Copies of this chain bind each other. A is one copy, B any other.
Amino acid sequence: MLPHADDAITRDGKALVLAYDHGLEHGPVDFEPNPDTADPEAVWELATHDAVSAFAVQKGIAEAYYPSYEDDVSLLAKLNGTSNLWMGEPDSAVNWSADYAAELGADAVGFTLYGGSNGEVEMAEEFRDAQETAREHDMGVVMWSYPRGQGLKNDTSPDTIAYAARLGLELGADIAKVKYPGSGEAMAHACEMAGPAKVVMSGGSKTDDRAFLETVESAIANGAAGLAVGRNVFQRENPVEILDALEAVIYEEASADEALELTGSAAVADD
């Protein structure tokens, strides 16, 4: 964790990372709720929304579009990732070198660590290389800190998420992306464990507007710097509306209720 290393991917110290690596991690099935989002350009357009402080994509998506968006989008190069075609112990291929991410102009690198998996040692060493190369190029470092594997029955328990957040700090991430640990209190604990490193909550699978915004509000109120989100934005009928709402909650300390006014579901849930 290096002070200010994440400046280019945060806004007033807060962060909304729009993630769009689902085509690799989950496959085309994630685009089915909103088929237009299979087209990367549609999601790059979303990434130009003022609420989005960084856009996380794999290498191929960056090569194809970032030159056209470099003035409007902060690029978070997600370096590793693996298809879910593979059924083995959790692991993740390093698909993108940090050097090449820098060459493409990335503002930060993103890296998944499956703490507790049989791949933990190898992944941590790959993270080391990525993190230190990021430092050479003045890029920020975001860790997707996702404990999983044989020893972990419930990977969103408060203790596990607090440990996950701490791993981000100890190993040199500027921002740790963790799952929501189920309560504001647990989130506060995780944020405290991350010390000066920021914590962003992982968006997870799609939920309704109110539930989603209330969780984000709780996370922010308890010390999280923001949110990293994919499906809960691009699988919605109106992704811009939810980005408007998230902007209010994350950067303007609006309540979920206030933010819902900015969406079509102020009165009724839309799914």
Q: Nearest chain-B residue to A96 (Cβ)?
A: B128
Set B58, B94, B162, B172: member contacting A27, Cβ < 8 A: B162
The CB with the most chain B CB atoms within 10 A, among A1, A3, A23, A117, is that of A23
Q: Are B171 and A58 in contact (CB under 8 A)?
A: yes
Convert A70-101 into 0s and 1s, putting 1 for each residue whose CB lies closer than 8 angstroms to a CB of B.
00000000000111011110011111110010
Q: Decide yes or no whether A59 CB sits under 8 A from chain B.
A: yes
Q: Are A125 and B39 in contact (CB under 8 A)?
A: no
Q: Decide yes or no whether A167 CB sits under 8 A from chain B.
A: yes
Total count of chain A residues near the partner, CB < 8 A: 72
Question: In the bound complex, how far is the Cα of B60 from the Cα of A120, in angstroms?
Answer: 17
Question: In the bound complex, how far is the Cα of B42 from the Cα of A196, in angstroms?
Answer: 12
Q: Are A61 and B170 in contact (CB under 8 A)?
A: yes
Q: Are B125 and A166 in contact (CB under 8 A)?
A: no
The CB with the most chain B CB atoms within 10 A, among A27, A60, A86, A121, is that of A60
Q: Are A83 and B115 in contact (CB under 8 A)?
A: yes
Q: Nearest chain-B residue to A78 (Cβ)?
A: B170
Residues of B within 8 A of A160 (CB): 85
Q: Which of A146-154, A204-212, A259-267 sits within the interface?
A: A146-154
Q: Decide yes or no whether A195 CB sits under 8 A from chain B.
A: yes
Top-6 shortest CB links A-B: A85-B116, A93-B124, A87-B151, A27-B163, A60-B172, A24-B170
Q: Decide yes or no whether A169 CB sits under 8 A from chain B.
A: yes
